[in-house]
Structure formats: structure tokens, C-alpha cells
Structure 1
């Protein structure tokens, strides 16, 4: 443990009463919200050229010993008030930060944290200021945090721009979700994010390879990382080789590469020694690359 503030917080959590966070015998921290017991799982984000680990995206699940808990997104959607949505969103980010950085092997990896769409308009004031103070108290390096803004409709373009500017003023790196390559170009121009994430299943086909190369070229000029996400099937995995010939680096993420886990130990190993190369994918194997 290299984060003194976090270590002190976890020690106090063992005896603290009235908290919404609880420390288990295995070291995992869980949270209580309404009648749900919540936990963290983390899915790796890897480099497309050598499968080296670049970061992890955090997801909330109901607590399960074998990491097979359910997503609580619907709970967030149906929270009765905006205040409760904001409370849950912030509670989840704190939960993820604790469960990620308590594992000593995460010191050189980024943590991607989602911001729920209701938080964008519900918060009046300086987005990110409260979370910045939390990280400082826990001695967590803010440079390893990437805040992911949700997919927005065309009428919400100004909201994303405004919120991104606020987070950046508070020292955070920003990731945005693009619905297609055209929107990715627009977000690069307007928001200047550090990361743009694209859904490979619904947005990219072989005929888009040349346009994707243009996007990678522009992203490199802006020091922005493009992440192809939702690579959840062997078919999606088999489509990647057509995008690997551009000569530009990007990142990949999905269940066909790694499943989300609470324990990060195994994901820190280099994947090349454990998997076959992506450009050898033939669409026949049903085995995950994890």
C-alpha cells in the first residue's frame, strides 16, 4: 500500500459505524445503497499492438463472491430524485477508487470512472471539485483517473462541452463516448478529450477502415487515445485485423479479450504470453483472451 491517506481510511473503516462502505475479510470494500450491496469489478483496456495493459474501466455490480453480480444501472435510472442519483454516482466512484488503488499492482495503470448522464445536469456548480478533494484526502494520484462522460444526443452537445471544461479545470482527464466515427470527429474538435471510445459492434465495419485511419491520425495529433469497446464476441474480435494495418496505435476493450474482475492480479500480466495475436484471430475459438 503506497497511498497513506487510503491506508488510514481503510483502517478506520474497520471500526467505523454509520458508514455506507464496509470492508470484507478478503479486503474488498462494498457499499450499501437502498437495499443493494454493491461491489466493484474492473475490465482491462489494452493496447492494440501488443495487448499491454493501459488501464481498467470500473463497473458497479451487486456483491457476489465469484464476480457474477448484477449491474445496478437500472437502480440508478430509477432513483427517485436527482439528489439520490448524484449520491449514488459519487458513492460508486469512491467505491471504485478504494477497491482499485488498495491493490498495490495498480500503481502504473489508469482507472476509468463513468459519470452518469443525470449527474451532468443535476449538479449545480463546479463539476469535479468534490471528487478532487476526495482523491487528495486519500493521497490517490489524480493523474491516473480518467472520467468517462456518457453518450449524449445532438441537443446535449453543449452539456458535454460545459461539463468537460469543468472537470478539466479540476485537473481530470476526460473520456467521451461517440456513437459513430462522425461524432468522434466532432468530439475531438469541440471537447478535446484525452480518450474517445467507440462501440466496435454497432459502428465499425470493414468499409470504415479508411475513415477510422483518418480518425486515428487526427487523434494522434491531439494526443488522444481511441478505444474500440464492446468487443464481446468472437465475430467482433475477428474484425479487428482490418483496423490494425493503419500504423496508428489505439486501444481495445471487451469480454472477448478480458472479463471484468474484482481481483486485478491476473490482468497485470502481459497478454502476449497468455494469448494468441489478435491478427491471427480466425473466428473459430470461443475462448476469451483472458
Structure 2
């Protein structure tokens, strides 16, 4: 079905879980892009490019949320957005809403053959709030958008003091559904954290550009993980260290007329997305 119709369908299927938003649709079309509405804010998607070291073709894209106030278009930071939910149900709703938004917008981002793997952040509070079957409720949205779990890497932070047993079970749930696991990790010598990473066995370990050392890269490779570095840097700078992937700022935006034409195209022939945004 056309993307605009799919957005209307999702709005009809999914209730809004934030006081004051009861009469506002969760998703709206704006300039050929899908936007989400939450607590007086307009949410959009940005896709950073992920490139293999030493190769020209893109490996994939990392999604990030953009946030602006609806009334005056003033920018709002992501931390402020995720501080708004007052209940577990509201928080889980918001976290899934953002990932659903990115999946919808990835439909109109470049040619489908050029998109590659989509990296989607999952908030650590979400992981802690869901008791089990992690990934089940969200799965139907990317599938309806033509994205299989095997084409998605879920990105996680591991906060200090997190329940290691719960995290391992959660990541096992995600992996059983086909998702890749990516962990944002600051280099360090904490044996407990290194032991937890070994239990998780992530497919990707994400390091900041300033934290790349031969020891950190070697430790990631010993876990069986590829190393992704975030920063607007030349991939060649890290080739000698064994870094596998580099994430950098998005390239110039696509022609809006072209994006609008894509948005009118067929998003999905399926009509079976359940109430995944509910807790």
C-alpha cells in the first residue's frame, strides 16, 4: 500500500500513551517524510552512513532521532525527550515509536539495494522495563516495511549496575528473532564488564573515535565482534588498527521531490501490524 495509507493505518491501530496527546495522531506525513508527534514535539529521522574500512560501498546506516517543538520549531535534545515519560507504559511506547518512525523513513531513504543494515538504538530503560519476549512487539513494523530482523542491528548501552542476567536473556530473545546485537562500549579494564560482554557476544562493538586503541580493537575481535567507530573521520585512519566500520554524518539530503515521489510508492502489501506500540 502507499506509505501515506500505511501511516493512516498505523494511526488507526495504535493508541497514544501520553497525557494531552489523545487526539493527536502518532505519525504524520510532512514534505515526503514521516514524522512522529509526542508531547508537543515533532520527531524525525536522520541516517548516518556506516562504511567498511577500505571499501567504497556503504555497509548500512545508523538512525538517530531529531526533535523539535511543534509550536515554535525550536530544537530539543534527545535526553530531554526520553525524560518526558512518567510511566513504564509511556516509556516503552516512546522507545518503540522512535524505532517505528525510523523503519518507516528508511523506506524512502535511497534505493533499497543501497540501504544495507539499519542500526536502531534501544534505550536501556526499555530493556529493563520489558519482562520477556524482547523484540516480539516491535517486529511487525519493520517486516511491514520490508525489513527483516536480519537487516537490523539493535544498538544498546549497558548502564552501570544493570541486571546482567536480565540483559543476557533480553539479548538472547533479540538474537533468536534474527536481530544483530551492537553494544556501545567505552574502553576499560573492568573484568566484570568484559565478562558480561563475553556472555552477550555482540556482533558489533561501537567505540568513540577518541577511544580506539589496539587493545580495545583486539579485545572486540576476540569476542567475535566487528568494531564500529563513530566520528567524522577517514576510514583509512583506522585501517591500521583493525577497525572494521566507520560511522559518519549523513550525506547531502535527497531531492525532496524525489522523496515525495517515493513516499507515494508502495510501502507494503501487508495489512497485519498488531498493536506493537502498546506496552
TM-score by length of 1: 0.70
What are the residue-to-residue correspondences of 1:158-237 with 2, within 5 Å?
158-180=165-187, 182=189, 186=195, 188-201=197-210, 203-204=211-212, 208-209=213-214, 211-215=215-219, 217-218=221-222, 222=224, 224-229=225-230, 231-232=231-232, 237=233
CA distance, structure 2, for counterparts of residue 182 and residue 98 of structure 1 = 40
Aligned to 1:60, what secondary structure does the other structure show?
strand
Aligned to 2:139, what secondary structure does the other structure show?
helix
Change (3 A) 1:118 1:263: farther
Shift of 1:139: 3.3
CA distance, structure 1, for counterparts of residue 149 and residue 234 of structure 2 = 36
Count of matched residue positions in the alignment of Structure 1 and Structure 2: 238
Aligned to 2:120, what secondary structure does the other structure show?
strand
Shift of 1:138: 3.5
Aligned to 2:184, what secondary structure does the other structure show?
strand
1:48 aligns with 2:53: yes
Shift of 1:43: 0.9
1:132 aligns with 2:126: no
Matching residue of 1:83: 89
Matching residue of 2:80: 74
- Unpaired runs of at least 5, structure 2: 13-23, 257-279
CA distance, structure 1, for counterparts of residue 149 and residue 235 of structure 2 = 35
CA distance, structure 1, for counterparts of residue 113 and residue 68 of structure 2 = 25
1:101 aligns with 2:95: no
Instruction: Compare the two structures and name the one with the higher helix fraction.
Output: 1
- Unpaired runs of at least 5, structure 1: 1-6, 266-290
TM-score by length of 2: 0.73
1:38 aligns with 2:40: no
CA distance, structure 1, for counterparts of residue 196 and residue 236 of structure 2 = 23
CA distance, structure 2, for counterparts of residue 259 and residue 70 of structure 1 = 20
CA distance, structure 1, for counterparts of residue 60 and residue 255 of structure 2 = 11
Bigger RCO (CA 8 Å, 6+ sep): 2
CA distance, structure 2, for counterparts of residue 137 and residue 217 of structure 1 = 34
For each residue in 1:173-219, what CA deviation from the matched residue of structure 2 results, as whole angstroms up to 9, or x when unmatched? 11111121546854552111111111222x33xxx33x145236425
